[in-house]
Amino acid sequence: MAPGEEFGGREVELGKTFSIRVVGIALAVAVQAAAQCFLAGSAAAQLDGVVSRAGGLPLEGVSVEAWSVDQRRGATITNALGVFSFSDEIASSTVLLRLSALGFNVEEVQVREGLVFYEIELTEAPLAVEGLVVTMAETTCEEGREDEEGKRLWHLARIRYDGLMDTLGVATYLAEADTIVPLSELGSLQLPVLNLSQRGSSSLLRFNWTRRIDREGYAFPIRRIDAGKAYDSWVYPPLEADFAPHFADDVFGERHRFVIEDDTDGWVLAYCPKKTDKPYIKGTITLARDTTFAAVDWLFETPEPMEHAGGRAYFTPILPGTVRLSHLLPAEAVTWRAVPEGDYLQSYQRYEGWRVAPGDSVPLLPLRRERGGADISR
């Protein structure tokens, strides 16, 4: 949905505790809908808001976490209008909102007493792909460091998840886009309109990936054809999608050593391969303050041809009181690899919600209705 004309920064007053700044038609529509919900009566949620990017364009798929003084109380995702909402029960103990999305800076907003609606603008933050490659190569993996506390933190995080889900099939709807960009623009996520698609896998397929990694490493050679020309390339496991649970599996822990790189807000763990005789991965795992997975970065290291391939995935938070093990399946992700002309193929995916079912088949997804023909954009 494209931004419309400016409203000149008018303030809209809706009672003593409801004040927002309208910045554009698209945002005004979202605000009006949320305001009507608030004014409808006691059934309305008590903590609402709308998230946008520069220019007032609403952002869909932003992770919004509600934090009390010492724990995450709730989490949700913004809808197509950029709107989020928390119930009375969660709102009553919330002191901080934490917002994150791939390609944007993390934003933390203090909750003010009496204010129940928040208009939040996220600033773009291109993924530092070149910096990630240089940092991991020079400061951690090449030095051979290892940290027992880092390994302990990874173990505390992985026991919250259901490993490789050996007896489960998974499927999801997703919005995706592929772009060809030069290295200087890699990670900027200036995306076109996203395409709707589906993805799924059986437990057998994921098991086969695990066996292949054991035999051949994290990549195997293939011949591709582009514009009628054949060239050598690599196939990589789908760590950005249904094979992401690999990061919480015993096999991953056995193959890597861990080092704490940062502990200022949660933890950033660098992971490095113990053996490099086959194609391998290295990167970082970002753990939230409650030792759950927040994000993972990875880089593939292969013999020639070097494609400098890698990716980054963000994960949905685990809420307090969750009894059953959660599944380490991403909310959104981006991958990249070099193509013959010297540019990079960058692939972005935003997952609508994973459906998990027992058995060795891919679960059926419910019928999905189109949203009034509206474009899906980032």
Domain boundary among 121, 153, 172: 121
Q: Please give the Cα distance from 168 to 362 (Å, whole number).
A: 8
The confidence score (pLDDT) of residue 184 equals 78
The confidence score (pLDDT) of residue 187 equals 74
Q: How confident is the model at residue 316 (pLDDT cuts 50, 70, 90)?
A: confident
Cβ density class 227-239: b for 16+ within 10 Å, e for less = eeeeeebbebbbb
Contact 74, 90 (CB under 8 A): yes
Mean pLDDT over residues 102-122, rounded? 90
The confidence score (pLDDT) of residue 290 equals 87
Mean pLDDT over residues 91-109, rounded? 90
Q: How confident is the model at residue 305 (pLDDT cuts 50, 70, 90)?
A: very high
Residue 144 lies in a domain: yes
Q: How far is CA 319 from CA 125, 280, 292, in A?
A: 27, 33, 10
Stated length of the chain: 378
Residue 93 lies in a domain: yes
Say whether 152 sits in a helix, a strand or coil: helix
Q: Give the range of the structural domain holding residue 146, as residue numbers without chain letter.
A: 129-358
Q: Are residues 114 and 166 in the same domain?
A: no
Mean pLDDT over residues 295-304, rounded? 94
Ranking 168-177, 212-221, 224-233 by mean pLDDT, the lowest is: 224-233
Mean pLDDT over residues 119-135, rounded? 68
Domain boundary among 121, 151, 172: 121
Is pLDDT above 50 for 23? no
Mean pLDDT over residues 299-323, rounded? 87
Q: Are residues 329 and 191 in the same domain?
A: yes
Query: Nearest 5°: CA angle at 377, between 59 and 307?
Result: 105
Q: How confident is the model at residue 324 (pLDDT cuts 50, 70, 90)?
A: low
With a CB cutoff of 8 Å and minimum separation 6, the contacts of 196 are 173, 174, 175, 368, 376
Residue 6 lies in a domain: no
Say if residue 322 is exposed, middle or buried (CB neighbours under 10 Å; 0-12, 13-18, 19+). Answer: exposed
Q: In this structure, which amino acid lies at residue 33?
A: A
With a CB cutoff of 8 Å and minimum separation 6, the contacts of 22 are 7, 10, 12, 28, 31
Q: Are residues 190 and 298 in the same domain?
A: yes
Paired tokens of 88: 């009375």
**Residues forming beta bridges with residue 78, ordered by sequence position:** none
Nearest to 331 by CA among 312, 357, 313, 348: 313
Residue 309 lies in a domain: yes
The confidence score (pLDDT) of residue 360 equals 81
Q: In this structure, which amino acid lies at residue 321?
A: G
On the question of a cis peptide bond just before residue 305, with omega within 30 degrees of 0, the verdict is yes
Contact 378, 190 (CB under 8 A): no
Q: Are residues 103 and 138 in the same domain?
A: no
The confidence score (pLDDT) of residue 182 equals 86
Q: What is the tens place of the pLDDT at every residue in 137-191?
A: 445 676 677 889 999 999 999 998 876 678 899 999 999 999 998 887 777 777 7
Ranking 123-127, 132-136, 166-170, 338-342 by mean pLDDT, the lowest is: 132-136
The confidence score (pLDDT) of residue 208 equals 92
> In 215-274, where do the E strands start and end?
220-226, 229-235, 256-262, 267-273
With a CB cutoff of 8 Å and minimum separation 6, the contacts of 104 are 53, 59, 62, 122, 123, 124, 125
Contact 51, 58 (CB under 8 A): yes
Q: Are residues 141 and 41 in the same domain?
A: no
Q: How confident is the model at residue 231 (pLDDT cuts 50, 70, 90)?
A: very high
Q: Are residues 102 and 17 in the same domain?
A: yes
Q: What is the tens place of the pLDDT at every residue in 256-291?
A: 999 998 888 899 999 999 999 999 999 999 999 889
Residue 94 lies in a domain: yes
Q: Please give the Cα distance from 176 to 345 (Å, whole number).
A: 13
Q: Please give the Cα distance from 300 to 279 (Å, whole number).
A: 7
Mean pLDDT of the chain: 81
Q: Are residues 179 and 242 in the same domain?
A: yes
Q: Are residues 151 and 278 in the same domain?
A: yes
Q: Are residues 315 and 203 in the same domain?
A: yes
Residue 364 lies in a domain: no
Residue 39 lies in a domain: yes
- CB-CB neighbours of 210 under 10 Å: 16
Q: Are residues 145 and 109 in the same domain?
A: no
Q: Are residues 304 and 239 in the same domain?
A: yes
CATH number at residue 111: 2.60.40.10
Q: Please give the Cα distance from 169 to 133 (Å, whole number).
A: 34
Residue 112 lies in a domain: yes
- CB-CB neighbours of 114 under 10 Å: 8
Q: Are residues 154 and 79 in the same domain?
A: no
Say whether 213 sits in a helix, a strand or coil: helix
Domain boundary among 105, 121, 137: 121
With a CB cutoff of 8 Å and minimum separation 6, the contacts of 51 are 58, 59, 62, 64, 78, 82, 83, 84, 99, 120, 121, 122
**Domains held by the chain: number:** 2
Is pLDDT above 60 for 52? yes
With a CB cutoff of 8 Å and minimum separation 6, the contacts of 271 are 154, 256, 257, 258, 259, 282, 283, 284, 285
